[in-house]
């Protein structure tokens, strides 16, 4: 990407457009990892994200899960309902706000989480294989900056649309 030209003077080449490229990488990661837990455990990406958040943080509200996993509340609700039907999560009323419930992993959900985590970490190892540790550190810093800027821009554009 050239920084010398004004954006309006440049052509858009989708394959070189950073937001598109990040989306493609995310798609491949989700698709490949989704096959790992989808085939073996019969759960989809939204369900795994709920299980992962609960496994890491413990009891959460659906709103918390949505914010942590960047999922829309409808997807979170459907995933929680599916996991509840399968006996992998429980819901308990939030007495301070009856409009929401606390969600937690059941013993079966905790066992599933414990089975998937090593597979996910092994997947990550394969994903980054051959990348030097110093390159990964730089990548992590850049990714953190891009994530924060993305969060800021998403909020800014949301405000402009309202």
Euclidean distance between CA atoms 103 and 79, whole angstroms: 11
Q: Answer yes or no: are the C-beta atoms of 123 and 32 closer than 8 Å.
A: yes
With vertex at residue 89, the alpha carbon angle to CA 88 and CA 93, rounded to the nearest 5 degrees, is 160
* Domains and their CATH numbers in the chain: 16-129 (1.10.10.10)
Mean pLDDT of the chain: 90
pLDDT digits (tens, 9 = 90+) for 131-143: 999 999 999 999 9
**Residue 2 pLDDT exceeds 80:** no
Give pLDDT, residue 160.
56
Mean pLDDT of 117-142: 96
pLDDT digits (tens, 9 = 90+) for 34-71: 888 898 999 999 999 999 999 999 999 999 999 999 89
| Structure confidence at residue 85 as a pLDDT band (50, 70, 90) | very high
**Residue 74 pLDDT exceeds 70:** yes
The 3-state DSSP class for residue 82 equals helix
Mean pLDDT of 22-34: 92
């Amino acid at each position: 990407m050239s920084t010398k030209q004004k954006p309006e003077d440049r052509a858009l080449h989708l394959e070189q457009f950073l937001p598109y490229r990040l989306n493609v990488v995310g798609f491949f990661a989700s698709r490949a990892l989704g096959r790992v837990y989808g085939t073996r455990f019969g759960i989809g990406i939204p369900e795994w994200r709920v299980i992962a958040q609960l496994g890491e943080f413990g009891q959460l509200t659906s709103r918390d899960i949505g914010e942590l996993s960047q999922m829309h509340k409808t997807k979170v609700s459907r995933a929680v309902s599916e996991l509840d039907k399968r006996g992998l999560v429980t819901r308990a009323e939030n007495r301070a706000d009856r409009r929401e419930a606390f969600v937690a992993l059941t013993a079966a959900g905790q066992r599933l989480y414990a089975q998937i985590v090593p597979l996910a970490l092994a997947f990550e190892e394969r994903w980054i294989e051959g990348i030097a540790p110093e390159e990964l550190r730089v990548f992590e810093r850049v990714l953190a900056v891009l994530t924060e800027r993305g969060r800021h821009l998403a909020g800014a554009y949301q405000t402009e649309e309202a």
